[in-house]
């Protein structure tokens, strides 16, 4: 147990999981704590457990997709995005994850189309517009230097 958790009034996250092992929210929160500490393996394990406990809980599924994207597991992150969209087809974060996964896999046309649809369906979303602008710059770079490998 870290000294930070010792000084706090709340029990360490691992102790909470021990008391409530079947609670998806507890698993999600522990995953976030591990992610904040930089422990992607433990974070991913906790997010996976949260999804297994409650398949309709999107937050841990989306964090898991982000971890997969960071680890270069683009096919897995695309699958996670698609599973998230099956639960909630209009979810902005899941659609962004899908677009970034497609782009990272080299499917630029599909990624561009996903981003265009995302901005069109969410015209007031600052996140969608910023991501779209960044991706437009990326696509120009990819076109200028097609032999380079780009990752998210």
**pLDDT recorded at residue 79:** 97
Look at residue 135 in the predicted model and tell me its pLDDT: 66
Residue 6 pLDDT: 44
pTM to 2 decimal places: 0.74
Give the pLDDT band (50/70/90) at residue 125: confident
- The confidence score (pLDDT) of residue 7 equals 46
Q: What is the pLDDT of residues 10-65, one digit of tens each?
A: 445 566 666 677 899 999 999 999 999 999 999 999 999 999 999 999 999 999 99
- From residue 128, how far is each of 67, 107, 120 by CA, in Å? 20, 19, 9
Q: Mean pLDDT of all residues in the chain?
A: 81
The alpha-carbon radius of gyration of the chain (Å, integer) is: 18
Point out the least confidently predicted range of 71-75, 99-103, 129-133, 139-143.
139-143
**121 vs 19, residue with greater confidence:** 121
């Amino acid at each position: 147990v870290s000294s930070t958790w010792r000084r706090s009034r709340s029990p360490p996250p691992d102790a909470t999981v021990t008391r409530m092992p079947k609670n998806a929210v507890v698993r999600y929160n522990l995953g976030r704590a591990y992610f904040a500490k930089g422990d992607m393996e433990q974070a991913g394990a906790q997010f996976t457990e949260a999804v297994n406990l409650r398949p309709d809980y999107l937050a841990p599924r989306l964090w898991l997709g982000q971890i997969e994207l960071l680890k270069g597991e683009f096919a897995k992150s695309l699958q996670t995005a698609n599973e998230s969209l099956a639960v909630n087809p209009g979810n902005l974060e899941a659609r962004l994850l899908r677009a970034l996964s497609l782009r990272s896999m080299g499917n630029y046309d599909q990624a561009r189309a996903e981003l265009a649809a995302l901005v069109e369906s969410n015209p007031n979303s600052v996140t969608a517009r910023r991501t779209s602008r960044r991706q437009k710059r990326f696509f120009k770079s990819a076109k200028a230097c097609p032999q380079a490998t780009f990752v998210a």
